[in-house]
Amino acid sequence: MARPQTAQLNGITISYTDAGTGPLVVMVMGTGSPGRVWHAHQQPALIKAGYRVVTFDNRGIAPSSECTEGFALADMVADTAALIEHLGGPALVVGTSLGARITQELALARPDLVTAAVMLATYGRPTPMLEAVSAGERELFDKNITLPDSYHAALTAHLNLSPHTLADDRSARDWLDIIGFSGQTRSAGVRAQLALHDREQNRLAAYRGITAPCLVVGFADDRTLPAYLAKEVADAIPSAEYRVVERAGHYGYIEQPDEVNAAIVGFLDRHR
């Protein structure tokens, strides 16, 4: 297994892992999560399929610079662009949630760096529910409120997993244990990431300018970013492909890894 490396890019430190050989795939993770989340399922599948896979920690997630003074989405897009240039891009880019939003903006701003893009559980505009949840998360942090661990695990599972997953008692217990073991991330860098959601704009019209081949994947049971939001993004991007993964919540790439991996690899194989 490749060890993490660091590089000074775009004025900050970026920690990344580079493994495999073949066409370059850069994977962009969502809010509050490190790049190693991809290592459970997607990274091994892509390496097996003949790709060089780079995962990294977005700014806000140590050991990359936490940038606690705050930053904009454009900074995260520029970070990703600088990393791809550092790696000798262009690249095939895969993102989920906030990482998918970064991927969309990168494909728009730097088409020279994006050979093709996959966006999982994505969105292109704020909604009242997204704004309310985000505001609540920021307020919990700012008031230094820590939820009871068992309740935090249950709430996280409810928001991010499919009801089909949680309907099985053993599966539900396993997920509650995993989430509980992961703890509650309360770093200042994550708080800076959460602040991004207070300044969201409707970008759907702008996405008509994306020219790279794109695959947009919605998760049918996603409560955090419902699949209709992903469909809006697919509809906005000319010639984008869209598919829905059933029995999957916001963590669909972990809940249904075989189907998600097949979709990613199948799409990238056509555009490598």
Active site amino acids: 97, 222, 250
Nearest to 10 by CA among 122, 124, 106: 106
Sheet with 12-19: strands ordered across: 5-9, 12-19, 52-56, 24-28, 91-96, 114-120, 214-219, 241-245
- C-beta of residue 104 within 8 angstroms of C-beta of residue 203: yes
Say how far residue 18 (Cα) sits from the centre of its chain: 18
Judged by DSSP in three states, 116 sits in strand
Phi, psi of 14 (to 5 degrees): -120, 125
Q: Is 201 left (phi over 0), alpha (psi -120 to 50) or beta?
A: beta
Is the Cβ–Cβ distance between 65 and 32 less than 8 Å? no
Distances from the Cα of 29 to the Cα of 2, 37, 150, angstroms: 18, 8, 25
227 contacts 244 by C-beta, under 8 angstroms: yes
Ranges of beta strands (E only) in 80-147 are: 91-96, 114-120
